[in-house]
Structure 1
């Protein structure tokens, strides 16, 4: 049973976040922008495969995004703390609109060198690194601390739904209209996102914070961001724990997909159910957190317990003789993943000074961005050599061990209430 306080002791619930024009506009802008990101990724990758047949060239697009995010995330977060975040967000959306529109034109033209498209794609990724920390750091200002859990939960649900829909819609668009038209549609999403941000009105980012930022140099602010994460126990724990969770979760779930095809030989319908279990479980967890926000106690225990619980579940899934009995376990993994991430992201926004959030989320975004591709490459290689079941068993055991150590050592995370 969830450790809720008595109903009578719960303070009055805050007003619904959906009554805020600023949040609605920013939330919709985020969804449209995220759709553009996923749409861009799948549309461009499919176009590369269709026109060149080269998986190596397709991987070059992924590597470009990976390197740009890893190198420039902390710098982008520092800039997000020094300037008007709303302006930074709509400006980067307009820049991405222009760059992606240029990619669409190049894709339409015959005999365009792939290096030109790769360069523009890298620039799109570069612009995107500035938008992400600006958005993450602005959320507490837009929603307020009392409505923060509602806002983070809603964004978590939308995030899962849009990523799934983006890949599907992108694939359909390329197949139906061709690469150039699909990428042009992608460009339009960034333009729409910028318009929504302008409609949202000014964010309540204090002018004195920008004035303080102008008194220090960029180099000083960048160094201060790293020092803050090193000194603040909760920020340090989050920046360590979340990339670790992303590394194991996404990489091991890829092994579940391999198991479904190679070992369980699941039918397409059952494979589709497996694919749907993770987002369904995640959405269920996010809704539960939103629903019982002000009555949920011992959040740190729920977070760390969920992280630890995923390891044994992966070990159990690896022992399943077929896909059907694995379905409820995969659903539960998605549920635990929601508890292990949503609560931490909410707490970060409450605990960290809004003037520093861009730097913290910029660093966190760089680390969580690089961890999954590294894990996917490593686990895929091991799976080919030793088989997915054995690798998943070892991965689950390693996740249990490392997250158990984190539970013992991360006192601030564990004791968060």
Structure 2
């Protein structure tokens, strides 16, 4: 595990500034890929299967990524990952320029990017305590706020840019955005890594898994997230298709929809700091999940073009607030030397249902009705509420008043 360096030159605001610019670029990529796949194929199943493919590396690689993060220097790993991701994104407009871009290219690059992002996302969580001290909820909320702000701005920018440039050309902005976070990561201090000589690689993986399944609260949070991710994946993987075909929106309106979704995430990341100070977590979590349920119901039954954006904004507020609380709980309860491994196995459990949800959503959209997936997602949220009320989550009290 990493050891804090007294000569640290990067503070949380420094990190967030680079992270924000990088996430702006990521949001451009996330906006462009579903539209690009639809332009190439016109198939909702391709769109949903691309989403499913992006989750597979999380399931297969996350346990290994957790051990790697606990063993090696996070700074150099994150630098390597970002350089590689930058090259992969750049490959798409290059292939398009030479008329070589095909659907299989999207699948391969999506798979590789997801593989790298799996390790990167774990690394982000493990370095947050270095900047936060005892303010874990505030620091986690800061990272989430910055990410959601970028996700809110990015689709609006991308929607406007589509009137001027091709989708592959817009991806060059994502390539350029990597420079901001690379500069921040380069300035991170050298950090001491504890060597895990007492265990072999697979033994260390088993340590993280055993700790997770023996912690009732952490296991309940993972189960809750798995059910919620199943429903959310079904709805999110087919959202662009629903907007294009059922509501017949233009790219500018689609950009506004995704920006509303991100705005909900920003609201959730801001309000959770106050809520965590004044309410018990055991009561707060099920209430948040009920708010998310209402968002999916709004998207299902209201056919105004703004309804999906507003509904998903409520869902995003709920999910972001829940994610911040769960991250703080894990950072407070998991031993630091095991954090990467426990997080990695938690991600396996929480993401395993996502490909199934995405594929089911794609089938339901084509065979039944595009809006039916929103009811499926609402049902999953209600199951999450039941888990919160029936598990040790209900006994959680506020533990961080900072």
Does the TM-score normalized on the shorter chain lie above 0.5?
Answer: yes
What SS class does the counterpart of residue 92 from structure 1 fall into?
A: helix
- 1:234 CA displacement: 2.1
Give runs of aligned pairs for residues 273-292 of structure 1, distance below 5 A. 277-291=260-274
Question: Following the alignment from structure 1 to structure 2, what is the Cα–Cα distance between the partners of residues 230 and 345?
Answer: 17
Residue 153 (structure 1) shift: 1.2
Cα distance 1:181–1:391, how it changes in 2: closer, same or farther (>3 A)? closer
Taking the aligned partners of 1:112 and 1:264, their CA distance within structure 2 comes to 29
1:198 pairs with one of 186, 197, 206: 186
The secondary structure found in structure 2 opposite 1:416 is coil
The match for 1:94 is: 83
1:134 to 108, 120, 123: 123
Higher helix share: 1
Count of aligned pairs: 391
Between the aligned partners of 1:45 and 1:267, the Cα distance in structure 2 is 14
Q: In the alignment, is the contact (CA less than 8 A) between 1:304 and 1:340 conserved in 2?
A: no
Q: Distance in 2 between matches of 1:184 and 1:253?
A: 25
* 1:76-96 deviations in Å (ceiling 9; x for gaps): 122111111122111211222
Match of 1:219 in 2: 202
Cα RMSD for the two superposed structures = 4.0
Question: Which is higher, the Rg of structure 1 or of structure 2?
Answer: 1
Corresponding residue number in structure 2 for 1:15:
none
TM-score after normalising by structure 2: 0.78
1:227-256 per-residue CA deviation (whole Å, 9 max, x = no partner) reads 111112222112111222233345457899
The equivalent of 1:415 in structure 2 is: 396
Describe the superposition over 1:377-403 as per-residue Cα deviations: whole angstroms up to 9, x where unpaired: 324533554546666456535532x23
* 1:44 to partner: Cα distance: 4.7
1:59, CA displacement in angstroms?
Answer: 5.9
Aligned residue runs from structure 1 range 231-250, under 5 A: 231-249=214-232
Return the TM-score normalized by structure 1.
0.76
Q: Give the one of 132, 142, 151 matched to 1:154.
A: 142
Distance 1:142 1:61, change over 3 A: same
1:351 maps to 333
Q: Please state how far the C-alpha of 1:110 moved relative to its aligned partner.
A: 3.7
Partner of 1:403: 384
Whether the 8 Å CA contact 2:258–2:309 is kept in 1: the answer is no
In structure 2, how many angstroms separate the alpha carbons of the residues matched to 1:122 and 1:327? 28
Contact persistence 2:162–2:251 (CA under 8 A): no
Q: Does 1:375 align with 2:357?
A: yes
1:165: which partner in 2?
A: 153
1:95-139, Cα deviation, whole Å (9 max, x unpaired): 222333344433322446765665454333322222111111111
Cα pair 1:312 1:397 within 8 Å, conserved: no
Assess, with a 3 A threshold, how the Cα gap between structure 1 residues 326 and 81 changes in structure 2: closer, same or farther. closer
* Matching of residues 38-77 of structure 1 within 5 Å: 38-50=27-39, 61-77=50-66
Deviates more, 1:270-279 or 1:59-68: 270-279
Which residue does 2:173 correspond to in 1? 185
* Change in 2 beyond 3 A, CA 1:215/1:105: farther
Change (3 A) 1:258 1:94: closer
Q: CA-to-partner distance for each residue in 1:21-49, whole Å, 9 max, x for gaps?
A: 43223223333333343333444554555
Unaligned runs of 5+ in 1: 1-19
Change (3 A) 1:296 1:250: farther
- Aligned in 2, Cα 1:43/1:140: closer, same or farther, shift over 3 Å? same
